[in-house]
């Protein structure tokens, strides 16, 4: 049985999630509910849950601040939020599970299935702990630009890669290949669209339906029908005709 705690500053949200868990999930028990960060800190230390459903935006302190209060968190975390904004970008950046409010039954069931797998996999639990610590560090100054790494789940596990070390990304149906400095490649079982919004604010540009390029790593633009980019690793990245004009504007402005 997975023991869980719900933290949300709205009683109705806590009650709704607890009822969904009790009605639609097996193997999950709610052992505590809290409406504030300070009370949640005391509750978590007392009941020692396996899983924390944590609201991001709360009245006095947010969910990230609660995580910062733990030196070495040993619980899994699922964030809940009503806002698909920067906070969601941060969670995606570190491959965290999250639920958008109002929480749907199928989304909750899918989330619990993933949690059950992680609960019995020590390496996954260690990765989650690493992600929590990295997220704590990234948000310690509430600085959006503090996010310097991205979590890339591969067959070998989850690798935390410096964003600046990524040269370009290439789509292959539902997979994405990240080309990293030092002639490294990481294949991720997610479509390129999953990463486009995350990387755009760090100087990346969708130059083609199958390619995102780090414009800080471009050596040369070669003209042609659409043209192509020569990157620092001497790889060639195609530029689509419809992307050429906007790409050149961005490059000239930078």
- Contact between 228 and 239 (Cβ < 8 Å): yes
Q: What is the rounded distance in angstroms from the CA atom of residue 194 to the CA atom of residue 249? A: 24
Looking at residue 161, which CATH number applies to its domain? Answer: 2.40.50.1020
Q: Work out the pLDDT band at 245, boundaries 50, 70, 90.
A: very high
| CB contact set of 2 (below 8 Å; sequence gap of 6+) | 27, 28, 29, 50, 51, 115, 116, 119
Which of 97, 112, 145 is the endpoint of a domain?
Answer: 145
Tokens of 175: 């997979």
Distances (CA, A) of 110 to 16, 24, 98, 115, 117: 17, 11, 11, 9, 11
Share of residues in the chain with pLDDT > 70 (%): 84
Q: Check residue 190 and report its DSSP letter.
A: S
Same domain, 93 and 217: no
Give the pLDDT score at 54. Answer: 93
Q: Does the pLDDT value for residue 8 go beyond 50?
A: yes
Looking at the 3D structure of the chain, how many domains does it have?
2
Left if phi > 0, otherwise alpha if psi is -120 to 50, otherwise beta: which for 88? Answer: alpha
What average pLDDT does this structure show over 91-106?
Answer: 81
Last residue of a domain, one of 95, 124, 145: 145
The per-residue pLDDT for range 227-242, each reduced to its tens digit, is 999 999 999 999 999 9
Q: What is the pLDDT of residue 72?
A: 76
Both 91 and 182 in one domain: the answer is no
Task: Verify that 64 and 161 share a domain, yes or no.
Answer: no
Q: What is the CA radius of gyration of the chain?
A: 21
The crossing angle, in degrees rounded to 10, of helices 193-200 and 86-93 is 120
31 and 136 assigned to the same domain: yes
Q: Is the pLDDT of residue 142 over 60?
A: no
CATH number at residue 102: 3.40.50.2300
Task: Give the structural domain span for 184.
Answer: 149-253
């Amino acid at each position: 049985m997975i023991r869980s705690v719900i933290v949300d500053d709205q009683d109705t949200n806590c009650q709704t999630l607890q009822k969904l868990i009790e009605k639609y999930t097996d193997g999950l028990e709610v052992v505590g509910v809290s409406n504030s960060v300070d009370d949640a800190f005391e509750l978590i230390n007392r009941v020692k849950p396996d899983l924390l459903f944590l609201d991001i935006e709360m009245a006095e302190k947010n969910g990230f601040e609660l995580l910062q209060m733990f030196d070495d968190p040993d619980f899994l975390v699922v964030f809940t939020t009503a806002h698909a904004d920067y906070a969601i970008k941060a969670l995606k950046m570190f491959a965290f599970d999250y639920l958008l409010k109002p929480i749907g039954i199928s989304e909750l069931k899918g989330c619990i299935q993933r949690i059950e797998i992680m609960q019995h996999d020590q390496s996954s639990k260690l990765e989650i702990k690493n992600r929590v610590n990295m997220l704590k560090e990234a948000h310690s100054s509430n600085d959006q630009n503090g996010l310097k790494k991205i979590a890339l789940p591969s067959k070998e596990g989850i690798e935390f890669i410096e964003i600046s070390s990524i040269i370009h990304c290439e789509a292959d149906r539902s997979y994405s290949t990240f080309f990293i400095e030092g002639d490294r490649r990481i294949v991720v079982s997610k479509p390129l669209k999953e990463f486009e919004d995350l990387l755009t604010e760090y100087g990346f540009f969708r130059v083609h339906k199958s390619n995102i390029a780090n414009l800080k790593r471009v050596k040369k633009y070669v003209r042609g029908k659409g043209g192509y980019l020569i990157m620092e690793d001497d790889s060639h990245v195609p530029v689509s005709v419809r992307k050429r004009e906007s790409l050149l504007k961005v490059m000239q402005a930078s």
